[in-house]
Chains A and B, each alone.
Chain A
Amino acid sequence: MSKKSQALPVDTVKFSSFYHDAFLRLRKDKVAVCCLAFVILLIIVAVFAPIIAPYPESYQDTSSILSGSSSEHLLGTDEYGRDILSRIIYGSRVSLMVGVVAESIAVVIGVTMGALAGYYGGKVDMVISRIIEVFASFPQILFAIVIMFVLGTGIINVFFAIGFVGWTSVARVIRSQVMQLKSNEYVEAARASGGGNLAIIMRHLIPNCLSTIIVIITMEIPADIMYEASLSFLGLGVQPPQSSWGEMINKARTYLRANPTYSIYPGIALVLTVLAFNLLGDALRDALDPKLKNL
């Protein structure tokens, strides 16, 4: 830990104690701890899916098609006889990957644009802000769909589409944070000691936005997961035989009367995941910086 503080500029030396305090506050919140446990559980399930899932993803048990819960298939089977529980488990991989990949793309673009707009102000800010407005003037889901049109379908393209659509929320927040921070004294000091603009942005401003970035990520990930589910629901996301919760719900529609629970279970998985991330995000925001309550 101490080596880290040495490498960072002087103003961020309080790193460890600030995050330590935040962590202690977080630990007290029982709901947050539950959510964190759930998320960790989800990650474990996703990573060790082949081991945890009772059946392989595309294994078709032709003896039981569209069956409800049974001792062999805890959550029933789909139209191909595939075990729903296993497919839900494998589906978690897609959801988590969306969270990681799409959000990383969004953060990289968003932080860059936001920091540039906030720091330089003036014309740069005007241009970037207009671009953000244009992007934000379109319902995100429809925008993602249109991007899919350009890129073509498939899960990798979904990541790009969602990331490309989601950077605006990140940019907006980073922009206002940077605008606030840049009037702080250490920026003056850094400039006085000869720091170039880029260095100031990278070494001083962005690290101080870290807590904001963490909160944003935790709040945007559930939205990204929802978008992926929606795109897959429309048939634009994962392609069969890969499973994704959204895709399962889509297929389940046709068999609503035959096996209603087919559509219910993947949805529950989705709701719980989004809920967990949402609550975790709220708790993180309260722990790291209650001033961000407006997010």
Chain B
Amino acid sequence: MSEKLLDVKNLSTYFYTNEGIVYALDDLSFSVKKGETLGIVGESGSGKSVTVLSVMRLIQSPPGKIVSGQIIMNGEDILPKSKKEMKAIRGDKIAMIFQEPMTALNPVFTIGSQIMESLRIHQGMSKKQARKKAIEMLGKVGIPLPEKRVDEYPHQLSGGMRQRVMIAIALCCNPELLICDEPTTALDVTIQAQILELINDLKKEFNTSVLMITHDLGVVAQVSDNVLVMYAGKEMEYGSVRQVFQKPLHPYTRALIDSIPTVENDRELLHVIEGMVPSMSKLPGGCLFHPRCERCMEICKAQKPELYHFKDGRRVRCWLYGKEEDGGDSDE
């Protein structure tokens, strides 16, 4: 069992807006081991992006605020760290790539200089050294003729190329954790596969753990070791990819998997999850998912289920589970 690289405990992030308090994250706990890829899955509005922005402490405050919890990185809680200390961590120990490669790069700087910037800030390289390393990184992410392209501007590259550049920037300082926030959502399907493969390969080469945020279960299946299912700011289910896909426990997870259109059987109606993700400022009482749940029971409407830990490491937050026979403990 490799040690935990990132251990998030009871993380709560709220947004204080004119219309009320938005409980974007409520008491979330998860961990990422060294060398592991954890996928965080959920629909839009589930809080998955807020999770990683909280880990990076990039939450805009006001109106957001990390209200409570611990973010333990390599045994050290980074939540109380000063801005200066966080700056040293970002880009160096924890790096992040975002969803929109078209707008994530500064249009007035060359792609080379944008890679070099990270290197010079965190590793104190000289211009010459940084440029050499930048060209090397461009090669590693699969950009042809890197010596030439290092002086080009973002608008001269395609979307897929730009995402590769983003990966180069993220990995150039050899971070321990790479966070990917929907990195392939804005790309074509074929490019998508290439980028995911690239992340997988580089992960091994750089010995980096990966936190992959996505709404796409296909992406999860392709790259993750474990998966965390989120809904309305809370964890719904956790397990290894194999476990969760073969035998999804939570009705939400099951519905997500069922919604994936398949080409196998005869044409059936597309499976759809009824209802909509609740507005974060007006959450339903009882289990957050109960208005849309196929297996909703009376208790679901009234009481919030707690997170139930199975002996094999799986977790689920649902009133369907939690009895002694399942052989596990309740938590919280």
Tell me if chains A and B make direct contact, with any CB pair below 8 A.
no
